[in-house]
Amino acid sequence: MRWTVPNILTVFRLLAALGLPAAYVIFPSPWADWIAVTLFVSASLTDYLDGYLARKWNQVSKFGKMLDPIADKAMVIIAIIIVVGLYQGSVLIMIPAVLIVFREVFVSGLREFLGADAAGLKVTKLAKWKTTVQMIAIVALMLSYAFGIEFGGRSHAMPPDLVMDILNNHADDPMGLRVWYGLFDWSMTIGLWGLWLAAALTMITGFDYFRKSLPYLREDV
């Protein structure tokens, strides 16, 4: 194995995936939330950077080819499990999350079965868009939870009627509740719509991958 920059970035992404649940075990909210968001965003950026640098610097390696998809799947699946846990199994999050995880496991198993033949099934542009939308949705949902914690902490000692008056612009807002609630609401909207869109793209690209693999799955007569 060569410790090239692309390989180091891939290893970092794998360690960052393991760091996501560790953040919630070691640190209390909201520290855990901001650390997890930082780790996930950093890991997501390396997902694009390591492959680009490997090709540009001619540092493509067998180790990188082996570990890169593992790091990708680990990061996505662990992050989605965490998001489902943060929102206590909300149906609006659980359904697309299950579809995404199902597709990731299904395609990984299919790739393993196909072996060398899987190299002939290229990643499509739609699959790349799926990955981008998926990352944005997860980040948005993580941020929404963090914003919600901040809002809850600042409004905890206030009477509910006063909180509603502040949000409706009927009272002064010295704690910045309107800002934090606005951030929470916008990021939640982006996260939910993004997660459902990612789930739809996930199923479409998963079916496309299965369809293209059918010639390799036919039984010999």
pLDDT digits (tens, 9 = 90+) for 11-53: 888 999 999 999 999 998 888 999 999 999 998 888 778 777 7
Rounded Cα–Cα distance for residues 207 and 205 (Å): 5
pLDDT in tens, 111-154: 878 777 666 667 778 888 888 899 999 999 999 999 999 999 88
Say whether both 68 and 161 belong to one domain: no
Rounded Cα–Cα distance for residues 161 and 158 (Å): 8
Say whether both 107 and 198 belong to one domain: yes
Both tokens of 144, joined, read: 């929404």
How high is the pLDDT of residue 124?
Answer: 76
Q: Which carries the bigger pLDDT value, residue 80 or residue 125? A: 80
How high is the pLDDT of residue 26?
Answer: 93
Give DSSP secondary structure letters for the chain: ----HHHHHHHHHHHHHHHHHHHHHHS-TTHHHHHHHHHHHHHHHHHHHHHHHHHHTT---HHHHHHHHHHHHHHHHHHHHHHHHHTTT-HHHHHHHHHHHHHHHHHHHHHHHHGGGGGGSPPPHHHHHHHHHHHHHHHHHHHHHHHHHHHHHHHTTS-HHHHHHHHTTSS--TT-HHHHHHHHHHHHHHHHHHHHHHHHHHHHHHHHHHHHHHHHHPPP-
94 domain residue, yes or no: no
How high is the pLDDT of residue 199?
Answer: 95
How high is the pLDDT of residue 220?
Answer: 59
Least confident of 65-69, 99-103, 180-184: 65-69
Rounded Cα–Cα distance for residues 102 and 145 (Å): 24
How high is the pLDDT of residue 120?
Answer: 64
Say whether both 46 and 115 belong to one domain: no
Q: Please say if the pLDDT value at position 184 is more than 70.
A: yes
pTM for this predicted structure: 0.88
- Count up the domains in the chain and report the number: 2
How high is the pLDDT of residue 178?
Answer: 94
Say whether both 218 and 166 belong to one domain: yes
Say whether both 111 and 12 belong to one domain: no
The residue segments making up the domain with residue 152 are 100-221
Say whether both 201 and 164 belong to one domain: yes
Say whether both 16 and 81 belong to one domain: yes
Q: 66: pLDDT confidence band, cut at 50, 70 and 90?
A: confident
How high is the pLDDT of residue 44?
Answer: 86
How high is the pLDDT of residue 221?
Answer: 43
Last residue of a domain, one of 36, 61, 86: 86
Q: What is the largest CA-CA distance in the chain?
A: 78
Percentage of the chain lying above the pLDDT 90 cut: 45
How high is the pLDDT of residue 8?
Answer: 84
Say whether both 190 and 217 belong to one domain: yes
Say whether both 145 and 206 belong to one domain: yes
Both tokens of 149, joined, read: 């914690």
C-alpha to C-alpha distances, 14 to 19, 75, 202, nearest whole angstrom: 9, 7, 22
Last residue of a domain, one of 86, 109, 141: 86
Say whether both 113 and 77 belong to one domain: no
